[in-house]
Amino acid sequence: MRNLILTTLTIACLAAALPSYALTASQTVQKEVVVQLPDGTETVSREAADLVTPGERVVYTLNFTNDDAQPATDLVLTMPIPGEIKFMEGTASNNNMTPEYSADGGKNFSSREQLKIRDIDGSLITASSSDITHIRWTVPGPLAVGETGNLYFKGVLR
């Protein structure tokens, strides 16, 4: 069993000349528990991820609020994926934000389909879920004063 470390969140503006905003963000890490019922259906619940064993699912959730006196625009939220976590495909979620992915420590981002890495022979190949190091979401439109949002991704403890 291992204790999980909270990832570091980066909140940035798309252009350096844009004003900074007062954004409050809190992150939770939960363990996802799947129980198979006698009829074959499954129930899924979440609990604190104080101790997680390899193979268990974890959910990293970020809740954020615009605490500024003005709407926030051009916000980018980036969450690194801890090294002990393997990203679960298709789980980077938010209702109105499209995620982008990095496989080079957050230096470059692209859609999941376009994410490439260099193979041993130097050729470009599609990155696997194990190669993903960061997920980035761009908040569309302004985030109104007091408006809240959340995003999350799931992974498996290696």
pLDDT of residue 9: 52
Q: What is the mean pLDDT of the chain?
A: 87
Q: What is the pLDDT of residues 64-115, one digit of tens each?
A: 999 999 998 888 899 999 999 999 999 998 768 889 999 999 999 999 999 9
pLDDT of residue 145: 95
Could you tell me where the beta strands, DSSP code E, fall in 4-130? 10-13, 23-36, 42-48, 57-66, 75-80, 85-87, 99-102, 116-118, 124-126
The CATH code of domain 10-157 reads: 2.60.40
pLDDT tier at 122, thresholds 50, 70, 90: very high
Residue pair 62/25 in contact (Cβ under 8 Å)? The answer is: yes
pLDDT of residue 1: 45
pLDDT of residue 17: 41
CA distance 10 to 136: 9
CA distance 116 to 131: 9
Q: What is the pLDDT of residues 45-66, one digit of tens each?
A: 999 999 999 999 999 999 999 9
Q: Say if strands 148-157 and 85-87 run parallel, antiparallel, or are unpaired.
A: antiparallel
